[in-house]
């Protein structure tokens, strides 16, 4: 459980500074053997990783999604951050739920098998 929390924090921090695709290319080969050793489903880890990186893309300093949204809507970054605060809290709570209750993330994929 602590390793998953540590990975979540690292992914959130890295997601604020780097692009999602770059982080996936760099981190998946490093983290996948650790995840498999711990007995965590790789699909579950992939879902957790993507959610982490998307949350990182919504927050400064390099939040690409934040800049695109501000550019389209014509709002400032400060206005955007005030407006998105409740949604970020909800996303982080959902991330914690998905991280520690794998059935939430794996149930839809089980229907496809």
Q: What is the mean pLDDT of residues 28-49?
A: 93
What pLDDT was estimated at residue 64? 85
Chain mean position to CA 73: 24
pLDDT digits 0-9 by tens, 75-108: 999 999 999 999 999 999 999 999 999 998 888 8
Q: What contacts 24+ positions apart, CB below 8 Å, involve 80-86? A: 84/58
**Where exactly are the structural domains of the chain?**
1-20+46-104
pLDDT for the residue 34: 92
Rg (CA), the chain: 15
Q: What pTM was computed for the model?
A: 0.86
Judge contact between 59 and 66, C-beta under 8 A.
yes
Q: If you average pLDDT over residues 1-8, what whole number do you get? A: 90
């Amino acid at each position: 459980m602590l390793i998953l929390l540590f990975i979540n924090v690292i992914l959130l921090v890295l997601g604020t500074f780097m692009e999602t695709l770059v982080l996936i290319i760099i981190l998946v080969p490093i983290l996948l053997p650790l995840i498999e050793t711990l007995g965590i489903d790789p699909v579950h880890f992939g879902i957790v990783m993507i959610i982490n990186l998307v949350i990182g893309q919504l927050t400064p300093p390099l939040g690409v999604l934040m800049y695109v949204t501000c550019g389209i809507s014509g709002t400032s970054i400060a206005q955007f951050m005030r407006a998105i605060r409740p949604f970020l809290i909800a996303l982080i709570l959902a991330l914690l739920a998905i991280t520690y209750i794998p059935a939430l993330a794996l149930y839809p994929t089980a229907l496809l098998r």
